[in-house]
Structure 1
Amino acid sequence: MSKANATPPALKMSAEEITAFLDEEFPQIHLGGRSFIIEEVAPMAARMRMLYHERHIRPGGTISGPAMMSLADLALYVAILAQLGPVALAVTTNLNFNFMRKPAQRDLIAECRLLKLGRTLAVGDVAIRSDGEGEMVCHATGTYAIPRG
């Protein structure tokens, strides 16, 4: 069977299950209030929203790079969890960011797709856009190490 006709892998966790898992295992991401919302998980993909808040702003009035990095890293992790189930010890081994334009002062949307999901590594990319805008403000690629079960 060719890859074009291959059946997409079934999801092991829903957006709601991943949210509950993150709330339990990583409550620190909500210090100061919830910023990250999982909007959708799909085979080898995830869509997340980072709510606009002044705590994400850097001097000059734009959303900070570290805030966008957090969003991209979390989107990759969420896409992996959707495919593999609750793997708390999967860790980021590489992140690469290209900041392309100044984001608008509104929510950011991250669309992640996993390019490869192997037994020990997952590789993906993330496109981040200001809500309601078509052009990317940031593009990220990342690799996660997956612990052997």
Structure 2
Amino acid sequence: MTNAGSPTARTQVPSPGAGTLSPDELNALVQRQFPDYAACRVTDASGTHLLMEADGARLRTRPGGTISGPEQAGLVDLAAFLLVNARLGRPTPMALTTSLQISYLNRPRPGLLRTHARMAKFGRRLCVVLAELRDEAGDLAASATVTYSVPPTPAGQGTG
């Protein structure tokens, strides 16, 4: 017997919507929610992976001309957020970063940067995304594991 006041009586587990969000829908989401990331553009997305490009010349650099660490972390975090939204099939602004572990491997110079994110786990409340950031030459600049907390869907609102 379910208690009417229990959380399970009022919410359902997040699940993918009727379909995934397209690259155009994700790019529109970035423009609405994250105007500071106007240099970023999703080029491919599904429920399992996402490819994003960024104009590194428009990102903050450190002395010596390398893209700053916080900018690199921001790119992998944004790619993970967009992948979670693509998988859910709807914009979910309250999907929140709970953990971001990043290793900086090579120094990326300003130029085209590509982020490839893939879904490692899509759980009831947590999603784990593995992301790689590569420079224009294809060299691996950073590798990250990002965990997102996904809010439950209120009952009656559906999933798509």
TM-score by length of 1: 0.84
- In the alignment, the residues of structure 2 paired with residue 131 and residue 35 of structure 1 have an alpha-carbon distance, to the nearest angstrom, of 15
Per-residue deviation, 1:79: 0.8
Is 1:37 paired with 2:41? Answer: yes
Is 1:144 paired with 2:144? Answer: no
Per-residue CA deviations over 1:58-104 (Å, capped at 9, x if unaligned) read: 11211111111111001101111111021111000000010011113
- In the alignment, the residues of structure 2 paired with residue 16 and residue 28 of structure 1 have an alpha-carbon distance, to the nearest angstrom, of 15
For this pair of structures, how many residues does the alignment match?
A: 136
Is 1:52 paired with 2:56? Answer: yes
Per-residue CA deviations over 1:14-62 (Å, capped at 9, x if unaligned) read: 11112222322x14424xxx21111110231101111122542111211
- Structure number with greater CO (CA < 8 Å, separation at least 6) is 2
Is 1:20 paired with 2:24? Answer: no
- In the alignment, the residues of structure 2 paired with residue 141 and residue 56 of structure 1 have an alpha-carbon distance, to the nearest angstrom, of 22
Larger Rg: 2
Q: Which runs of 5+ in 2 are unaligned?
A: 1-16, 154-160
Q: Of 123, 127, 137, which aligns to 1:122?
A: 127
Per-residue CA deviations over 1:110-144 (Å, capped at 9, x if unaligned) read: 000010011210001101110232x3110011100
Residue of structure 1 equivalent to 2:76: 72
Partner SS for 2:98: strand
TM-score by length of 2: 0.78
- In the alignment, the residues of structure 2 paired with residue 68 and residue 108 of structure 1 have an alpha-carbon distance, to the nearest angstrom, of 9
Per-residue deviation, 1:10: 7.2
Confirm or deny: 8 A CA contact 1:11 1:42 kept in the other structure.
no
Report runs of 4+ in structure 1 exceeding 4 Å deviation.
Answer: none
Letter in 1 for 2:100: L
Partner SS for 1:58: coil
Residue of structure 2 equivalent to 1:81: 85
Q: Which runs of 5+ in 1 are unaligned?
A: 1-8
Residue of structure 2 equivalent to 1:4: none
Confirm or deny: 8 A CA contact 1:125 1:140 kept in the other structure.
yes
- In the alignment, the residues of structure 1 paired with residue 141 and residue 104 of structure 2 have an alpha-carbon distance, to the nearest angstrom, of 6
